[in-house]
């Protein structure tokens, strides 16, 4: 683990609250209290959820305290886990997290943002009568994503709309590898005002019309034609594990390691296990020398990445199937069993048979292996 990653981990574990004078910047305690309304209604203790998110419980209902974007992300995650509901308890009909994972899988396999958005909307429409997204042509070279939310009476509908818009904005920005160029946002509620001056809608960087007849985001049509640069649950899980700052401008930028892995996975899905660096560099609009240099700056090498991806897939076959070891080697492009064994020892430190015997009963590893095989299945 690098010093930078250790620093980020330490930062993520620190209680996130600031109460110094002047008033702390960020989402204030009253807004935090509103976000926890669904959890409270369903019998959960806000202080416990805040504590699990590494947030001082004293922030709850305190307009002189605030949380930052990473703390906000962790809080939402803890609420969803505790309630087993992606909609954080604001609807009579929730969305269980296992179902939310299947929805995520469905649109990550799409080619463009527009296709992913339409798949997500169709899936969401089937989830609950409390939510009704749809796309409407804006007429000004944009497409309007209208969101209908029938939240439980007594809960703060306005904070839920903002929560969903932040989620949509960051998710699709990450998927296309850059910030969405939103043309406009319509919000039925009034402009939220916090004593600390924090503007929770500023992160969208577009005109906001409050008191509108609908809740909607207006996308730039060019964004809808943008290709997805992330396409697997493994990448999505890694993104969530980083506790992204949801109050910052999303970039979705991929490292050179990430770009190289994506290109190699695409080749592996087609059965090309030894794609040369020249071909990958060409796909990434680079050249071999520059790609080697860029990877080296990230502490990686092309050969290491290629071997690791092949090894991960071999491990997945060993745990999620009963295919004989020799056959797995052939499936992954090895012409001799000995070559496969030597390569896998280099990857895992043990033989394929030992690996299968040791981890076949580990349900967590088997589930991850099954997911990987599903994602790497040929189109």
With helix as H, strand as E and coil as C, how does 194-250 read?
Answer: CCCCCCCCHHHCCCEEECCCCCEEEEEHHHHCCECCCCCHHHHHHHHHCCCCCCCCC
256-375: what fold?
Answer: Arc Repressor Mutant, subunit A (1.10.10)
CB-count exposure of residue 180 (10 Å: 0-12, 13-18, 19+): buried
Pairwise CA distance, residues 30 & 65, whole Å:
9
Q: Which two tokens stand for residue 289?
A: 């020398």
101 Cβ contact list (under 8 Å, min separation 6): 233
Q: List, in sequence order, the alpha helices (H) in the chain.
A: 3-13, 29-35, 37-41, 46-52, 69-83, 97-108, 113-127, 157-176, 221-224, 233-241, 256-269, 277-283, 288-297, 302-320, 325-331, 337-348, 352-359, 363-375
285 torsion bin: left (phi>0), alpha (psi -120 to 50), beta (else)? left
Pairwise CA distance, residues 267 & 264, whole Å:
5
Residuewise pLDDT in 10s, the chain (379 residues): 333 443 443 344 334 433 333 456 799 999 999 999 999 999 999 999 999 999 999 999 999 999 999 999 999 999 999 999 999 999 998 899 999 998 898 888 898 999 999 999 988 888 778 888 888 876 665 899 999 999 999 999 999 999 999 999 999 999 888 888 898 999 999 999 999 989 999 889 889 999 999 999 999 888 898 888 887 888 888 888 888 889 887 765 567 877 788 788 888 888 888 899 999 998 887 899 989 988 887 678 899 889 988 998 999 999 999 999 999 999 999 999 999 999 999 888 899 999 999 999 988 788 878 877 876 765 4
Name the residue with tokens 């179902």: 99
Q: What is the pLDDT of residue 18?
A: 39
Q: pTM for this structure?
A: 0.64
Pairwise CA distance, residues 309 & 86, whole Å:
31
Name the residue with tokens 């683990």: 1
Q: What is the pLDDT of residue 364?
A: 74
Pairwise CA distance, residues 39 & 45, whole Å:
8
Q: Where in the chain is the domain with CATH 1.10.10.60?
A: 256-375
∠ CA 122-127-132, rounded to 5°? 60
Q: What is the pLDDT of residue 83?
A: 97
Q: What is the pLDDT of residue 140?
A: 62
Within a 10 A sphere around the Cβ of 293, how many other Cβ atoms?
12
User: In the 8-state DSSP scheme, what is residue 360?
Assistant: T
Q: What is the pLDDT of residue 377?
A: 63
Strands 184-187 and 142-146: unpaired
142: three-class secondary structure by DSSP: strand
Q: HSE (CB half, 13 Å, CA atoms) of 96?
A: 3
Q: Which two tokens stand for residue 285?
A: 């609009």
Q: What is the pLDDT of residue 165?
A: 97
């Amino acid at each position: 683990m690098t010093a930078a990653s250790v620093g980020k981990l330490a930062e993520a574990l620190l209680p996130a609250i600031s109460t110094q004078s002047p008033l702390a910047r960020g989402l204030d305690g009253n807004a935090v209290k509103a976000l926890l309304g669904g959890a409270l209604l369903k019998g959960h203790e806000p202080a416990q959820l805040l504590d699990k998110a590494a947030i001082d419980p004293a922030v709850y209902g305190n307009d002189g305290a605030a949380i930052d974007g990473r703390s906000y992300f962790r809080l939402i995650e803890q609420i969803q886990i505790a309630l087993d509901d992606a909609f954080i308890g604001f609807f009579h009909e929730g969305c269980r997290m296992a179902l939310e994972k299947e929805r995520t899988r469905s649109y990550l396999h799409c080619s463009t943002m527009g296709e992913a958005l339409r798949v997500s909307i169709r899936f969401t429409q089937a989830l609950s009568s409390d939510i009704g997204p749809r796309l409407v042509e804006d007429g000004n070279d944009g497409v309007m994503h209208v969101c209908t939310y029938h939240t439980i009476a007594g809960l703060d509908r306005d904070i839920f709309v903002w929560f969903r818009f932040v989620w949509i904005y960051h998710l699709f920005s990450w998927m296309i590898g850059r910030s969405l160029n939103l043309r406009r946002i319509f919000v039925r509620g009034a402009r939220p005002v916090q004593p600390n001056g924090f503007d929770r809608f500023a992160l969208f960087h577009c005109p906001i019309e409050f008191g509108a007849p609908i809740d909607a985001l207006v996308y730039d049509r060019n964004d809808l034609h943008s290709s997805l640069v992330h396409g697997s649950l493994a990448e999505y899980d890694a993104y969530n594990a980083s506790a992204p700052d949801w109050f910052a401008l999303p970039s979705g930028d991929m490292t050179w390691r990430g770009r190289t892995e994506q290109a190699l996975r695409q080749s592996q899905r087609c059965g090309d296990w030894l794609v040369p660096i020249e071909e990958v560099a060409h796909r990434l609009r680079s050249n071999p020398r520059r790609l080697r240099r860029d990877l080296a700056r990230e502490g990686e090498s092309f050969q290491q990445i290629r071997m690791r991806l092949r090894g991960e897939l071999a491990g997945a076959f060993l745990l999620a199937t009963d295919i004989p070891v020799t056959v797995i080697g052939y499936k992954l492009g090895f012409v001799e069993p000995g070559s496969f064994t030597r390569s896998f020892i280099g990857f895992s430190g043990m033989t394929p048979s030992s690996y299968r015997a040791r981890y076949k009963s580990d349900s967590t590893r088997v589930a991850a292996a099954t997911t990987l095989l599903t994602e790497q299945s040929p189109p």
